[in-house]
Structure 1
């Protein structure tokens, strides 16, 4: 079985690349999917549908176009990793975690200890909390290979 792993959340660090490289080095049977991580492209996802006078409506259109990808990929995932960085509030990641929980899809949260309190409900729904991408790789090694 090839496990589909959805990578959600923070886009300002190399955590995705570290998880992917670690899994590749161990030859784990995983395929990674996720949202568009190019911030400008994501913000402009609905621009081709017409200009908007107010930022709310531009964001509304783009979020719906982005949701086509996000919803489809989350629903097809076997497991997800939801990353919260300390610098920015990732409301989209929290939304993804709630959706994953509602679907019953197992997920791992990835964040530093300094934001445990604001994420207590999210962490309570997660199957594991990791602080480093390498810990996620070890979890994926275990669940895919049983060792």
Structure 2
């Protein structure tokens, strides 16, 4: 079996690299995709490609719309969507990605800190697994692929 896994959410820490490294060390047959994680490129892609905007709302709208092409494609193609809710910022986009994945019937793994359990209870209720570390996510993916513990 092979899995396509989309790694959605927070872009300010190395959680994606940790999951990928652990899965590669186990030689798991997984293709990972992700949003653009260069914050500046993600924020400014719309105006860089389509032209400047004086109003910040339209600046952000152009970028969000352009980024949504990648996000929609990746989530639709994914077998499993992992959504990370980080510590520093409110990731409204992560919640949106989780809801979109759930609406499409995708398997969902949430990665969050324990102190966010109450705030994310509805998202957690839609998930097949709720993890607190990248290693737990990698172990979930390993189990799904191999059917074995450890």
Q: TM-score, normalised by structure 2?
A: 0.96
Runs of 4+ in 1 over 2 A off after TM superposition: none
* 1:9 Cα deviation from its structure 2 partner: 0.6
1:17 and 2:17 aligned: yes
Output the CA distance in 2 between the equivalents of 1:28 and 1:4.
11
Alignment of 1:86-101 (within 5 A): 86-101=87-102
Alignment of 1:86-125 (within 5 A): 86-125=87-126
* 1:13 Cα deviation from its structure 2 partner: 1.0
Match in the other structure for 2:7: 7
Match in the other structure for 2:72: 71
Q: CA RMSD in A?
A: 0.7
Q: Give the length in aligned residue pairs.
A: 147
Unmatched 5+ residue regions in structure 1?
none
Q: Secondary structure at the match of 1:45?
A: helix
Q: TM-score, normalised by structure 1?
A: 0.98
1:42 and 2:38 aligned: no
